[in-house]
Structure 1
Amino acid sequence: MEEPPGATEVVDSVLSALADPTRRHLLDMLAARGEATATTLAERLPVSRQAVVKHLAVLETAGLVSGGRVGREVRYAVRPAALDATARWMASLAAFWDRRLENIKRVAEAAERDSSSTRPE
């Protein structure tokens, strides 16, 4: 499974960021809303605005969200590219294991056929 340069770092960063349930929830909320401020997001969570800002910074570092200033507010929105790269990696990994398991199945079935054909009746 050959990956493009930098793909491993992107996937590692995304998976690390998504390991936290609060960050996954923030990403879901942003995906549903389109964009939102940290204050708006914090109103719907049992954590402080400062905690939300820290979580958003992790998501932004992973390339999952971007923050843009609109007047005095910073509005955050989902950036799908890093998530798409991670999904492609996961699909590639799943396909790799599907092929390996199919090969194991073929070998096991061939061994079973061979052993049944060589058994005395």
Structure 2
Amino acid sequence: MENYQRLDGVFQALADPTRRAVLGRLGQGPASISDLAKPFDMALPSFMKHINLLEESGWIRTVKQGRVRTCAIEKKQFAAVESWLAAQRSLWEARTDRLEKFVTRENPT
């Protein structure tokens, strides 16, 4: 159950297009919060809520050096999501395989 609660936060973070865009940008490498905020038409405190949620859910880590806070992507969350998706894929493929066998078998009448 704890794993599902952790995944809830991970997927909740992905539910917002701003946070997905931040993750997309961080896929190119670390960036300062001010650089990440530039493309978005919102106040910095509002943008920081997105950063905080991404950090709390484990998608990113931030490091403060002097007056600059730099964000970097945290790859372990991708592994957790991939693991969950692989399990779901396996489950559904098995179900569709059983359905296909049921539908295509000859019905003795």
Same fold (TM over 0.5): yes
Deviates more, 1:85-94 or 1:41-50: 41-50
Q: Does 1:104 align with 2:92?
A: no
One of 1, 6, 13 as aligned partner of 2:9: 13
RMSD of the TM alignment (CA)?
1.4
When normalised by structure 1's length, the TM-score is 0.82
- What do residues 73-111 of structure 1 show as CA deviations (whole Å, max 9, x unaligned)? 11110001112201210121011001011011112222x
Structure 1 ranges of 4+ moved more than 6 A: none
- What do residues 20-59 of structure 1 show as CA deviations (whole Å, max 9, x unaligned)? 0111001111111x11121111112222222221101000
- 1:1-121 to structure 2, matched below 5 A, reads 6-32=2-28, 34-110=29-105, 113-115=106-108, 118=109
Q: Report the alpha carbon displacement of residue 10 of structure 1 after superposing the two structures with TM.
A: 2.2
| SS of residue paired to 1:10 | helix
What residue identity is the alignment partner of 1:85? A
**Contact 1:41–1:52 (CA<8 Å) still a contact in 2?**
no
Question: Percent identity, aligned pairs only?
Answer: 28
Whole-Å separation in 2 of the counterparts to 1:83 and 1:48: 29
Task: Return the index of the structure with the highest Cα Rg.
Answer: 1
- What do residues 58-80 of structure 1 show as CA deviations (whole Å, max 9, x unaligned)? 00111000111112211110001
